[in-house]
Amino acid sequence: MVKIAVTGKGGVGKTTITAGLARAFSRRSYKVVALDIDPSPNLLSSLGCGENINLEHVKPLMENVDLIRERTGAPPEGYGLVFKLNPKVDDILDRFGIECRDGVKLLVVGTIKQGGGGCFCPANAFARRLVDYLSGGVDVLLMDMEAGVEHLGRGTTRTVEILLTVVEPSLKSVETAKHIKRLASDLGIKKVLAVLNKIKSAEEEKLISESLQKIGIPTIYKIPYDEAMMKADLEGVSVFDLKEGDLMFKRMEELSKILEKEAEFSKV
Ligand SMILES: Nc1ncnc2c1ncn2[C@@H]1O[C@H](COP(=O)(O)OP(=O)(O)O)[C@@H](O)[C@H]1O
Ligand SMILES: [Mg+2]
């Protein structure tokens, strides 16, 4: 199995790429679970999930005070309180997992809004345990992370094999990638790989991949700017359910094959 966390600056395409990869891996008969770890989760709509969704499942687990209290013995942000470090999580996927298209299962995890990097509170203990537990039962665990780098200190990405960093043609997004790379090596995450997204010209592509090379992040894939995304946004649907999104899906398939080689993982 492989754990892949998708990171990068806000708006670069993390959620789109997480969703596309989840569906591509799943169609290629891997067992896939996608985790939405963004504080304002929207992976659900990019993935294209069923219409009959139980609202309780859409509420981020991290904000489910009763659940966190029941499992850890303390409320989510109970800093300084005594709480269980290995809460029960084996029923969470069945109870809260949302069935999405192509057989992808989604868990809306959310994140702790306050607390700062490195905080260790009941909600984080729960999230870490959940990630560890899930990795035992799936082929591909994809995590759509919060924008920026702060979350790297919270530990949910501690055991990922690949930190996939999405970069768009802007200096700011390269800067974020640079921070990510530095923190990742502090955490012992060896593979930090870049996907360039929203590329509009060969010149842009060259400039950005060269900057990334200097930082020491290999670019493994490039995605052009695609008008189909705008149509999907406008209609509030997953681009991967639009005919215009066929090409975008093919790209995700290609990327999934590249990641497969990078990770050398096997099916459960
Ligand atoms: N290749 C692309 N071409 C054009 N627009 C894109 C592309 N990838 C993503 N977008 C658009 O960029 C915006 C941000 O994408 P999203 O996946 O939500 O980013 P993030 O999760 O990093 O904030 C969305 O409006 C999305 O439709
Ligand atoms: Mg997002």
Residue ranges and CATH numbers for the domains of the chain are 2-263 (3.40.50.300)
Separation CA 34–CA 41 (nearest Å): 12
Q: Distance from the CA of 267 to the center of ligand 1, in angstroms?
A: 30
3-state secondary structure of 126: helix
pLDDT digits (tens, 9 = 90+) for 1-10: 899 999 999 9
Predicted TM-score (pTM) of this structure = 0.95
Say how far apart CA 1 and CA 42 lie, in whole Å.
Answer: 25
Nearest ligand, measured from the Cα of 12: 1
Both structure tokens of 158:
């501690």
Q: How far apart are CA 45 and CA 239, in angstroms?
A: 10
Confidence at residue 22, expressed as pLDDT on a 0 to 100 scale:
98
Q: Which residue, by CA, sits nearest to atom 27 of ligand 1?
A: 229
3-state secondary structure of 192: strand
CA 127 to ligand 2 centroid distance, Å: 18
Chain Cα centroid distance, residue 263: 16
CA of 42 to the centre of ligand 2 (A): 6
Q: State which residues of the chain have pLDDT below 50.
A: 116-117
Query: For position 265, what pLDDT does the model report?
Result: 64
- Asked if 159 and 131 touch (Cβ cutoff 8 Å), the reply is yes
